[in-house]
Chains A and B, each alone.
Chain A
Amino acid sequence: MVATGVLIGHDTASVTLIVIGAGMFFIGMLIPTLTEFQVGPTGFSAKLRERDLDFSETLGPDAEQLTRLGAWLAGSPEAGRELAEKALSDVYMRWSRGPDSNPLDDVRRRMVKSAPPAAPAPTGASAASSDLLSKLLALPVAERSAVVLHLLEGVDENRVAAITRREPASVAADVARGAARIIGSDVPPRGAATP
């Protein structure tokens, strides 16, 4: 009886899993066309439109700034655009607007995280920007992101630390070391902060 019960349980679990699997197949195929669906006044498409609107209103004004950040992190406007698009896509997938949420910093964090350690040679840039991009690309990602966020975008070190999830002192040291490498002066030892 116990064995029979176990088997019946297995069969039930199997049927349940098959139903779940079939349902997920269906949903998976349906998702790309969800915007075309209107299931009642609070249906999927209404929710998605609301989400799209919120996403666009929140991050739309920062699109160009994020693309520029990507260009400085990745070495070229094209690579920067790809970096920003991917980060924005990640943020959209987990879009939830809590009272403490900061979508812009969330996008920045994902861009820093995805920045290439060794970017290809920059293209489509003027001589001055090309020189700076080349020097920036030679820096480690931590120093590069600290320099770009703090010196170019004007984000204070505490906020950069929050974005990169590092200690503020480490961020200050990275800014100092990165700047010294770009300028060509003596690189300050680890732990030294921005003068």
Chain B
Amino acid sequence: MSDVERLAEAMRQADTELDVDPVELSNSVDRARRRIAGRLLLVGTVSALAAMLLLTGGLAASSAVDRARRKPAEHEAATKKPQGAHSRRPAHAKGDKRGSSSESTSGSPHPRPRTETQVAPGSAITTGPPVEAEAEVEIGDLSRTEIVVINVGSATAENVIALVTPLDPEGEALETEQVIFGDLASGDREGETGFFKRELTCESIRVSIKVELENAATEPVTERDLAPCEPAAVDEEAGAGSAQR
């Protein structure tokens, strides 16, 4: 018998003397299940955190894209606005009454002059996807209550809001009013050409209307569309009376 064989025999003898408590397989199973559950919880936690981070990043990127998209449009509107605003200052501001419409009603005890209200056409936004569009319109000189019609074309919008800013004779802006023109996205109006009529009463000689199309879904507002197309004749006295604010 070699030394190695004697060693093997001695080990086997010593092994029989070892007092061991055999392992319970159920303990190993429980241990394995706890480990699986722990790993799944860890993976779940990491996944949820990653999902939240991704969502936050996506929303932040979305906001950044919106801001970047809106900036050029605002800049364009701001640069185009002054062109029409001052070139169409009507004669009555220099002491004259209104234009051709008023002539047709002269002689009446309560003349209802038709006002040739001009709108600066260059102020509309025509570029960019029509998710949100915004335009400022210089209506021109108003000396009485008028019905202003704003055509936003076939744009559908959740809400069309005009910000009416009266200007005093010196051209200083007075307090801005918010006028809600209507909801284009509702019912049968969607996709149709949208006209919004609204009576505006101002004592000022100019009215600036800023049209905000929120979530416009089809076409951008065009220059043509923003021009008031049917300025209505309004009683001069009533207009003057309403202007005494």
By a beta-carbon cutoff of 8 Å, the part of chain A in contact with chain B is 1, 3-4, 7, 10-11, 13-18, 20-29, 31-32, 34, 52, 55-56, 59-60, 63-64, 66-68, 70-72, 77, 80-81, 84-86, 88-90, 92-93, 124-126, 128-129, 132-133, 147-148, 151-152, 175-176, 179, 182-183, 185, 194-195
Q: In the complex, what residue of chain B is closest to A150 when comparing beta carbons?
A: B8
Contacts of A23 in B (CB 8 A): 44
Contacts of B13 in A (CB 8 A): 128
Q: Are A20 and B37 in contact (CB under 8 A)?
A: no
Known A27-B44, A129-B14, A132-B10; contact A10-B33, beta-carbon cutoff 8 A: no
Find A18's partner among B10, B15, B52 (CB 8 Å cutoff): B52
How many positions in chain B have a CB within 8 Å of any CB in the partner chain? 55
Chain A: minimal CB distance from B144 (Å): 46
Q: Are B33 and A32 in contact (CB under 8 A)?
A: yes
Report Cα–Cα, A60/B27, bound state, in Å.
12
Report Cα–Cα, A27/B40, bound state, in Å.
7
Q: 20 A-B contacts, Cβ less than 8 Å apart? A: A7-B61, A17-B50, A17-B54, A20-B51, A21-B45, A22-B44, A24-B43, A24-B47, A25-B44, A25-B45, A55-B29, A68-B20, A77-B20, A81-B22, A84-B23, A86-B28, A89-B28, A126-B17, A129-B17, A148-B11
Find B29's partner among A1, A21, A31, A92 (CB 8 Å cutoff): A92
Contacts of A17 in B (CB 8 A): 47-48, 50-51, 54
Report Cα–Cα, A128/B17, bound state, in Å.
9
